[in-house]
Chain A
């Protein structure tokens, strides 16, 4: 932090690090970040909610991020998302049992592999509603 002009400049980096460490940004965490960086709390929350990367709620045990970029859209990503949502939960949410989180993303830069899904951090290529369903079976989703 000391290398930056004002402590506030580091806010986004600090939020990245905090999320990496704790998985999500709890109100308590945000409060202590505000205090440490000497920033107004509303600014910290304003920044944390502006960027989709930051999550204020804990993520599920398994995370699916369906790419909804153009190439994936053309290749049928909406059908993959529908299938996934149908068996688990709406994009942007986590199942009640904390097992699965579903999210949409805007191009993950793997358009050659469309439709692409990031499953627990790994890229799945040319995903179909069937293949995603199989994966859900494998991890024991009813």
Chain B
């Protein structure tokens, strides 16, 4: 479609939606589906028919509405309210008289809602991810139009640079600089790759974005391609994410049909195709050079950098790799300008960050907060604190590359530098809360087991080092380790950090280092007294313990 048609279609769809008596949004993301939201949605559909309201009331499925622990969630436009814990028996009321369901109504002025700021998740739960018109009605693809008609490639790049956006995949590299590196490379064959491998075990932000708002990621990629001069894009999605894959495939087809992807995008000379590549169960493929190897159909093993992908990436060509959330930030950023984006966040970390709250926390689910929000606010005001009467012990960020943050640092603002200072990392956004029933030595063992299983095996420090570290930690949890083992463990930490080939091996010691830093006495108790303070580890000559 042309730019004019895009705006016309938006206006028409908005008008159509406003004319409806009621539009019912049913959360059909994984959390709600598992507590029966598909049945609710079907029942609402039937109810609309039997009440003879077809054409006046409409039901649609949406991405995650955030409060997964209160599912199934339903939003009704008639009274602009959110209902939780609904079941099929509520269908009739939801269609014509939602106000009668007051007891199920969720108070959206609670801290869980008002302390959040939704940029990336702005559409999640508000548009039907399977309908491109829903996305267009919400202003979708207008940022791409702005880039192509108003800003030009250099202007688009400028906005991204001005915004101060940093990569959300973990390392936090400035996105504008990365784009510029690729844009500056000579040659007409360049690639844009979206890293949707989301391997951090305990994180599901990217999954939710892809399932709930796939067009936003496509639009972000198209803008990037326009700015750096690429014509081909790839999205590398985890094989486990079947629904995300299905929705992306559908979204790509729809966007191609509307000429928002493919040839002559928005009736201009710009062309950009996007293809999916499905991962096959290897965490290390989130590492950019391993990801490229995997797209090329090889074993997903990293290679030393430099050269970095912007110089030599896919098939040796300049390649831009960004994370899902990074791309999802692009459309609003371009739409409203870099300065608008930079007005949220801290001096060095701009914008918002999506976190997946999980573990021992009341409100498990997906949240988005401005950078710099203190951890305490995220965990207690928004997350609702630790349920079950046990005490907060640690928050884990950054997954197997991150660290455990103890209670004394709960007031740390969440930004790249502050988290690094206390020995963790921002990571991709997994935030897992542990209470006093978690044993920190076993947590370290758990992550080391993960790294051992996921090591690609190319370099010796990581391949053999993770095995030795896991061996030591395992013996600690069994009360069989000595203080000599502890010294070797620490030596191995340094070795892996300083000599491993890729980020997996270099950061594999982080969970050990951070738990040693804050919970050393717990290690000592395991070694010296053969005692697990959390009562989790089964020690020799010591009964009790959950396993």
Residue positions of A touching B, CB distance < 8 A: 5, 8-13, 15-16, 43, 46-47, 50-54, 68-71, 73-76, 78-79, 82, 105-114, 123-125
Query: Which residues on A sit within 8 Å (CB–CB) of B396?
Result: 70
Are A112 and B69 touching (Cβ within 8 A)? yes
Contact with A along B197-234 (1 / 0, CB 8 A): 01111111001000000000000000000000000000
Contact with A along B298-310 (1 / 0, CB 8 A): 1110000000000
Q: How far is the CA of A108 from the CA of B447 in the complex (A)?
A: 16
For A50, the closest partner residue in chain B by CB is B299
Size class of the B contact interface (CB-based, 8 Å): 35 or more
B359 interfacial contact with A, CB 8 Å = yes
Which chain B residues numbered 173 to 213 have a C-beta less than 8 Å away from chain A? Answer: 198-204, 207
Contact pick for B446, options A8, A47, A73, A125, CB 8 Å: A73
Query: Which residues on B sit within 8 Å (CB–CB) of A69?
Result: 201-202
B544 interfacial contact with A, CB 8 Å = no
Give the Cβ gap from B196 to chain A, nearest Cβ, in Å: 11
Are A112 and B364 touching (Cβ within 8 A)? yes
Give the Cβ gap from A128 to chain B, nearest Cβ, in Å: 13
Give the Cβ gap from B229 to chain A, nearest Cβ, in Å: 19
Are B432 and A71 touching (Cβ within 8 A)? yes
Which chain B residues numbered 246 to 287 have a C-beta less than 8 Å away from chain A? Answer: 277-283
User: In the complex, given contacts A16-B280, A53-B279, A70-B399, what are 6 additional A-B residue pairs having Cβ atoms less than 8 angstroms apart?
Assistant: A68-B201, A71-B364, A74-B432, A106-B453, A109-B207, A125-B34
Query: Which residues on A sit within 8 Å (CB–CB) of B297?
Result: 8-13, 47
Contact pick for A108, options B35, B240, B446, CB 8 Å: B240
For A39, the closest partner residue in chain B by CB is B297
Give the Cβ gap from A22 to chain B, nearest Cβ, in Å: 16
Give the Cβ gap from B76 to chain A, nearest Cβ, in Å: 23
Query: Which residues on B sit within 8 Å (CB–CB) of A108?
Result: 240
Give the Cβ gap from B186 to chain A, nearest Cβ, in Å: 20
For B205, the closest partner residue in chain A by CB is A109
Give the Cβ gap from B188 to chain A, nearest Cβ, in Å: 15
Q: List 16 A-B contacts (CB under 8 A).
A: A12-B297, A43-B298, A47-B297, A50-B282, A50-B300, A52-B282, A53-B281, A54-B280, A54-B281, A74-B359, A74-B438, A107-B199, A108-B240, A111-B356, A113-B30, A113-B34
Interface centre among B34, B283, B295, B546, by most chain A C-beta atoms within 10 angstroms, is B34
B68 interfacial contact with A, CB 8 Å = yes
For B239, the closest partner residue in chain A by CB is A53
Which chain B residues numbered 280 to 334 have a C-beta less than 8 Å away from chain A? Answer: 280-283, 294-300, 315
Query: Which residues on B sit within 8 Å (CB–CB) of A125?
Result: 34-35
Contacts A47-B298, A107-B201 given; indicate if A70 touches B359 (C-beta within 8 A): yes
Contacts A9-B296, A111-B358 given; indicate if A123 touches B30 (C-beta within 8 A): yes
Give the Cβ gap from B317 to chain A, nearest Cβ, in Å: 10
B360 interfacial contact with A, CB 8 Å = yes
Are B198 and A109 touching (Cβ within 8 A)? yes
Are B280 and A12 touching (Cβ within 8 A)? yes
Contact pick for A12, options B294, B399, B434, CB 8 Å: B294
Which chain B residues numbered 493 to 546 have a C-beta less than 8 Å away from chain A? Answer: 546
Q: How far is the CA of A53 from the CA of B279 in the complex (A)?
A: 8
Q: How far is the CA of A24 from the CA of B296 in the complex (A)?
A: 22
Contact pick for A107, options B31, B202, B294, CB 8 Å: B202
Give the Cβ gap from A25 to chain B, nearest Cβ, in Å: 11
Contacts A52-B280, A74-B434 given; indicate if A47 touches B203 (C-beta within 8 A): no
Give the Cβ gap from B361 to chain A, nearest Cβ, in Å: 10
Query: Which residues on B sit within 8 Å (CB–CB) of A111?
Result: 202-204, 356, 358, 364, 430, 432
Query: Which residues on B sit within 8 Å (CB–CB) of A68?
Result: 201
For A78, the closest partner residue in chain B by CB is B547
Contact pick for B358, options A10, A12, A114, CB 8 Å: A114
B338 interfacial contact with A, CB 8 Å = no
Give the Cβ gap from A24 to chain B, nearest Cβ, in Å: 14
